[in-house]
């Protein structure tokens, strides 16, 4: 009985420890290892990712050669990172039918609906609430309830993110029904 209790207590740790960091290349190859993020101190907007394999070898991750980075314990926390234009790394901050990404070490917000092309928005920029509102509104038009809520709020970052989350919640339920 005591052994069963100990096993039950440590079972969650066993399952969580099995998840590994990895990258997925443009050729759909998955490479496992420790994901490391570095910042170029001479150009702090330039972010560099490396992957360290089980032998300790570090390899620089070129954004033009990678689709996805799965980070668990790195500087960016437990997240998925994608690339855009073969140059920049984007952290996924909202997942669902509408995905929201943020430029790593930047303030630029990108969106994609139903896995369409990832596009830049003006969400989060000073004095751009109206323009950001106009850019996000078409993504919500197939959900009248959320669109009505969206039309009644200001176009600031917090409000827009809240409505996108609500849209994803509503539409994930519809997809699962």
Do 138 and 157 belong to one domain? Answer: yes
Distances in Å between the Cα of 69 and the Cα atoms of 6, 15, 50, 58, 80 are 35, 21, 10, 15, 6
Residue 30 domain-assigned?
Answer: yes
35 and 110 both lie in a single domain: yes
Among 49, 61, 51, CA closest to 104:
49
Q: Is 96 exposed, middle or buried (0-12, 13-18, 19+ CB in 10 A)?
A: middle
pLDDT per position as a tens digit, 163-173: 999 999 999 85
Same domain, 62 and 32: yes
Whether 25 and 107 share a structural domain: yes
**Residue 73: exposure state from Cβ atoms within 10 A (0-12, 13-18, ≥19):** exposed
User: b/e for 144-155, b at 16 or more Cβ within 10 A?
Assistant: eebbebbeeeeb
pLDDT band at 130 (very low <50, low <70, confident <90, very high): confident
What digits encode the pLDDT tens for the residues 56-92?
Answer: 999 999 999 999 999 988 778 889 999 988 888 999 9
Q: What percent of the chain has pLDDT over 70?
A: 80
Of 159, 130, 131, 142, the C-alpha closest to 98 is 142
CB 113 within 8 A of CB 98: yes
Number of domain units in the chain: 2
Kindly tell me if the per-residue pLDDT of 177 is higher than 50: no
Asked if residue 25 and residue 72 are part of one domain, the reply reads yes
Q: 101: domain range?
A: 18-120
107 and 139 inside one domain: no
Which of 1-15, 25-39, 109-123, 124-138 has the least mean pLDDT? 1-15
Of 120, 145, 161, which residue constitutes the final position of a domain?
Answer: 120
Does residue 3 lie in a domain region?
Answer: no
Domain boundary among 80, 101, 120: 120
Give a yes or no: residue 6 inside a domain: no
């Amino acid at each position: 009985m005591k052994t069963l209790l100990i096993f039950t207590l440590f079972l969650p740790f066993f399952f969580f420890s099995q998840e590994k960091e990895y990258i997925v290349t443009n050729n759909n190859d998955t490479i496992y290892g420790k994901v490391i993020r570095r910042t170029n101190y001479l150009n702090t907007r330039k972010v560099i990712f490396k992957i360290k394999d089980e032998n300790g070898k570090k390899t620089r991750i070129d954004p033009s050669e990678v689709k996805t980075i799965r980070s668990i314990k790195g500087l960016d926390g437990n997240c998925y990172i994608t690339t855009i234009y073969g140059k920049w790394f984007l952290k996924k901050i909202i997942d669902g039918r509408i995905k929201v990404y943020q430029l790593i070490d930047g303030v630029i917000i990108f969106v994609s609906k139903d896995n369409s092309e990832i596009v830049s928005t003006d969400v989060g920029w000073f004095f751009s609430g109206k323009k950001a509102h106009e850019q996000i509104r078409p993504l919500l038009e197939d959900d009248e309830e959320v669109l009505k809520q969206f039309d009644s709020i200001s176009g600031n970052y917090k409000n827009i993110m809240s409505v996108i989350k609500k849209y994803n919640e509503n539409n994930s339920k519809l997809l699962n029904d």
